Homo-oligomer: A and B are copies of this chain.
Amino acid sequence: MNATPTASETPKPSDSYVQSFARGLDVIRSFSASAPAQTLSEVAARTGLTRAGARRILLTLQTLGYVHSDGRLFQLTPRILDLGFAYLSSMPIWDLAEPMMETLVDRVHESCSAAVLDGLDVVYVLRVHTHKIMSTNLGVGSRLPAFWTSMGRVLLAALPEDELRARMATLPRERYTRHTVVDDAGLLDRVAEARAQGWCLVDQELEEGLISIAAPLRNRAGQTVAALNISGQANRTSAQAMQAQFLPVLLDTAQAISRTLGTRGR
């Protein structure tokens, strides 16, 4: 998994790059919460395509049932989920992980998630909520900056040192809260600590009040393929209390899930 070029950096067409395909994926991604229904002109503007180019892609998507149009506005259809979510169904790990995560949530009464690393982000692949008003509302496919999340630090800790430093070199820094560590030395320390102890706790570095604790999920070859976390609220449970109460059961569950993972999985 490497950092991915943005649209402006995408390669020129060649015999190993299909630009019309790449542009089509850009059109799909141009739909969002702030642009759920778009006109042809809006899609063209958002993707940098010509109107003619955007029209061909939209009509192709419409022919295949991925886009619906009332003649003026285009919207994605639920068939789009066949693309993204084919990924989830291709990871048999989660079928086995989910009931174990549910048992964990029943014991700790906090939400539990699994995520993988993609460039500088963690991407949620499974979430089991506890039914509390304050439960966080991040769905599958959501992204958070890896360097300031417990799952991210656990996953970054598994990278070779040169790869870790290469990613840090491109890292945008933001002081999300007064606790956020932003300097290279501080971040490398935190990642090294996660590597040494085999788990990681992040105390309100990404959001005031949010504490989370994570452990790696490893395949039979010992490679870290994902991370598992429990997240809680500082006003209910201190960092110390989370470590004391949740760490043992988190590590137990992570090991139990890891034992179910094949060597071919990621």
Whether A17 contacts B68 by the Cβ 8 Å rule is no
Bound form: Cα–Cα A84–B60 in Å: 17
A78 part of interface (Cβ distance < 8 Å): yes
- Which chain B positions have C-beta within 8 A of A42? none
Once A79-B123, A83-B28, A140-B85 are accepted as A-B contacts, the answer to whether A56 and B18 lie under 8 Å apart by CB is: yes
Task: Please pick, from B3, B36, B83, B90, the residue contacting A265 in the complex, using a CB distance under 8 A.
Answer: B36
- Asked whether any CB of chain B lies closer than 8 Å to the CB of A252, the reply is no
Residues facing B in A1-30 (CB within 8 A) are: 1-5, 10-11, 15-18, 20-25, 28-30
Give the chain B neighbours of A88 by CB distance below 8 A.
Answer: 81, 139, 141
Cβ B60 vs Cβ A17 within 8 A: yes
Closest 6 CB pairs of A and B: A84-B84, A4-B65, A85-B141, A81-B141, A21-B24, A36-B90
By a beta-carbon cutoff of 8 Å, the part of chain A in contact with chain B is 1-5, 10-11, 15-18, 20-25, 28-33, 35-37, 55-57, 59-60, 63-66, 68, 75-92, 94-95, 98-99, 102, 105-106, 116, 118-119, 123, 125, 128-129, 131, 133, 135, 137, 139-142, 264-266
Provide 20 A-B residue pairs closer than 8 Å at the C-beta atoms, listed in order of the A residue.
Answer: A1-B68, A11-B63, A16-B56, A18-B60, A20-B20, A21-B60, A29-B82, A29-B83, A29-B86, A31-B87, A32-B86, A33-B92, A36-B91, A68-B266, A80-B86, A81-B87, A85-B139, A89-B139, A102-B129, A106-B131
Q: Besides A16-B59, A78-B118, 15 other CB < 8 A contacts?
A: A2-B65, A15-B56, A32-B86, A32-B89, A33-B89, A36-B91, A65-B118, A78-B116, A78-B141, A81-B88, A83-B83, A84-B87, A88-B141, A102-B135, A140-B140
